[in-house]
Amino acid sequence: MDLRHALEIVRLTDVGLLRSHNEDAIASDASIGFMILADGMGGYNAGEVASEIAVLSITAELSEALGSHSVASGGLNVVDRPFVSKAILRKLLIDVVATANASIYQASQTYSQCAGMGTTLALGLFANNQLFVGHIGDSRVYRLRNHQLQQMTEDHSLLQEEIRAGVVTLEQAKHCTHKNLVTRALGVDSEVELELNEFKVEVGDVYLLCSDGLSDLVDDDLIQATLNHYLLDLSSAADALVQLANNHGGKDNVSVILAKVNSAYEDKNTWYDNFIGWIK
C-alpha cells in the first residue's frame, strides 16, 4: 500500500548558529510511511558519519523490505499486498537498527578518526492505522492531537534518570548543564536496545520527530502553539520550529520531521493471506 494518500511528511534540518557543520541526519518516505532522525556525536566529524550511516542503512533496508518490488523479480509487491503483521514489522525494525549499530560500531573500531562515535535515533513507521515509534538516546517523538502536544518518548539520558528518581525537578531540569549526557546511543557498543512502542493513530494527528537542538531550547508549550498555528501548512511549521531554535540561541544543529495523518489507512487482509495469494 502506498501511504502518500494518507500521510503528509515534511522534514528540515539546519546547522544552527554556533556549529560549523551539521551532525544531524534525517530521511522520510511517505510511500511506506517511514521517517527517521539521527543526531550524531563524536570527535572531529565522526558524529556526522555515525548519523549518516544510521539513516542511510536503516532507510535502505526498510525501503527494500517494504517498498514496491515487481513479481517478476521474485519480490513481494506490498503495494498490492499491503498488510504485514505487527510481529514481522517489530522484528524488521529491531533487525535493521541492529545492523546499523553493527556498522557504526565496526567503523569506530576500525578507523581512529571515528573512535567513540555514535548517534541518537528516533524513527516512526505507519502501518494499519498504527504508528511504531522507536528511539535511542534523547531525540524525541511528539504527537499533536486535538491541539494538545504529548511527548511519546522518554529520553535515555542521565538527566531523565535523575528526574525519574526525584533527584531533579522538571523546573530544575530546564537549567541543568548536563542535558546532553545520553545513557544509550547507537554504535557506541556492539549491541544496543531499541525502545519500540506502538500507538493507535487518528486522522488529524500531527507527529513531530526532533533533535535536542529543538527540545533543549524551545519549551513544549511553544512547540504546541507553533504547530497549532501552522496546522494547515507543515512546511511553514517546520520552518517556524527551526527558526524558534535559532532565535533561542541556535547552539546546536536542529532537525525536525513532521507527519500529518490526512486519512485512515487500515489494511483488510492479513499478511499470511497476501503471501499465500502471491506464491500461488
DSSP for 212-226?
HHHHTTS-HHHHHHH
**Residue 184, phi then psi, degrees to nearest 5:** -150, 130
**Residue 88, phi then psi, degrees to nearest 5:** -70, -40
Average pLDDT of the chain to the nearest whole number: 87
Evaluate the CA torsion angle 246, 249, 255, 260 in order and state its sign: negative
Q: Give the full edge-to-edge strand order of the sheet including 206-210.
A: 7-14, 254-261, 206-210, 140-145, 148-151
How distant is the alpha carbon of residue 107 from its chain centre? 22
- Percent of the residues in the chain that have a pLDDT greater than 70, as a whole number: 84
**CA 58 – CA 65 distance, rounded (Å):** 11
pLDDT tens across 130-152, in order? 999 999 999 999 999 999 999 99
Q: Which residues pair with 23 in a beta bridge?
A: none
* pLDDT, position 165: 77
- Is the pLDDT score of 275 beyond 80? no
What is the C-alpha radius of gyration for the chain, rounded to an integer number of angstroms? 19
pLDDT tens across 97-134, in order? 999 999 999 999 999 999 999 999 999 999 999 999 99
Assigned C-alpha cell, 24: 544531524
pLDDT tens across 60-86, in order? 999 999 885 433 333 334 444 346 788
Quickly count: other Cβ atoms within 10 Å of residue 85's Cβ.
13
pLDDT tens across 190-246, in order? 999 999 999 999 999 999 999 999 999 999 999 999 999 999 999 999 999 999 999
Mean local confidence (pLDDT), 44-64: 93
- 3-275: CATH superfamily: PPM-type phosphatase domain (3.60.40.10)
Helix (H) or strand (E) holding 246: helix 234-247
**CA 107 – CA 27 distance, rounded (Å):** 22
Per DSSP (E only), the strands in the chain are: 7-14, 24-29, 34-41, 118-119, 121-127, 130-136, 140-145, 148-151, 195-200, 206-210, 254-261
**CA 162 – CA 153 distance, rounded (Å):** 16
Amino acid at 53: I
- Is the pLDDT score of 258 beyond 60? yes
Amino acid at 185: A
Mean local confidence (pLDDT), 244-265: 96
